[in-house]
Amino acid sequence: MKTTAQIHSTLPLKGEQGGGLGVGLGFALALQHKIDNLNKPKGSLGRLEELAFQIGMIQQTLTPVLRHPVHLLFGADHGIEREGVSVSPREVTWQQMANFTRGGGGVNMFCRQHGFELHLIDVGVDHDLSAFPAILNRKVAPHGTANFLHGPAMTEEQCEKALSVGREQVDSAFAEGCNIISIGEMGIANTSPSSIWMSLLLGLPLEQCVGAGAGLNSEGIRHKLDVLKRSIEAMEAIDAIDTIETIDAIDSKQPLRYLMRYFGGFEMVAAIGAMLRAAELRMVVLVDGFIMSACALMASRLMPAFMDFAIFCHSGDESGHQLMLERMGAKPLLHLGLRLGEGTGALCAFPIIDSAVRMINEMGNFEDNKITKYF
């Protein structure tokens, strides 16, 4: 039987599997030359220059554009919520999903402000949302995931279905002309699986990964930590873990898939499917806070090249989030203290990304503007 430490030792590290933007050195040099020769001191626009380079590399052009931005918001409930690991009850998931259809959520406001088309997708909310036609019904299971304190949160078939929902949604957005996508979530208790993924994938003590979520007090955090520790111990104890022994030699990603389905939520796995498909289609992927960063972490282990397409938008106050980003080599654009979820941090960062693209396309250069190059 493998321990989680042994599983962790089989996981691919960032960059091990190569891949990525797949453009030649000549193009990269030409893109950097264009950025360096805009009429400004070299490097004086800081992160905007880095973003312009990244987006140019993604789109393989010296004149990148952002077209038809789409925000995918996946909703689902979690069996682990039954253990009292969140200050919010599970009915908040469906109530908020319904609220989004009325335009009353934070995500609605920011989508309107920044011109994002909002897609609401139910992948496992524990409520009948058929009265809300604006919510796309893609339920993997009608009541959300199983309680991972007692066994896997989902079956292999359910995991694949959730991944396919995410892929489907990205394909649909891409067909409409979208080349930049942001992803949000709604699922009470989803900081719990995020904390476990962070601990197991990065080899960190669970204590460094567990925080207050939507507002737990110190006693609540201690209870949450205890439940999550027992959940990991239960996973290590069950016979199913033995199956990984025979699969390692065939597919090094299988341990990742096992951890993904054992602890993940349907909305989280759908988000991973969306992230991976967006990278395959060479789209810009905007990553929100703690939960979406945990999904990006899983996506990056399944496909290390994913990191080339991801822009990490916000570092929140959830315990361990900054540490997670540091271990991933990610530099978030904002730190606003947000802990709402829904993808709001990604949406708030969009104007900065838009500015980077405008910079490379609209600023003149030294030669055309007859300015002496002074560096």
- Residues with catalytic roles: 342
CA count, 13 A, side-chain hemisphere, 277: 24
Phi-psi region of 110 (alpha: psi -120 to 50; beta: other; left: phi over 0): alpha
With beta carbons less than 8 A apart as the criterion, state whether 311 and 51 touch: yes
Q: How far is CA 319 from CA 35, 210, 224, 290, in A?
A: 37, 6, 13, 9
Q: How far is CA 313 from CA 37, 183, 316, 374, in A?
A: 27, 11, 10, 33
| Nearest-angstrom CA–CA distance, 121 and 247 | 33
Residue 334, φ and ψ in degrees, nearest 5: -130, 155
Query: What are the beta bridge partners of residue 347?
Result: none
Distance of CA 290 to the CA centre of its chain: 8
Distance of CA 149 to the CA centre of its chain: 24
| Nearest-angstrom CA–CA distance, 308 and 189 | 29
Question: Minimal CA–CA distance to 83: which of 146, 159, 156, 154?
Answer: 146
* Other CB atoms within 10 Å distance of the CB of residue 299: 28
| Nearest-angstrom CA–CA distance, 170 and 178 | 9
| Nearest-angstrom CA–CA distance, 17 and 35 | 29
Terminal-residue alpha carbon distance, the chain: 61
Q: How far is CA 219 from CA 7, 204, 211, 212, 222, in A?
A: 31, 22, 11, 10, 5
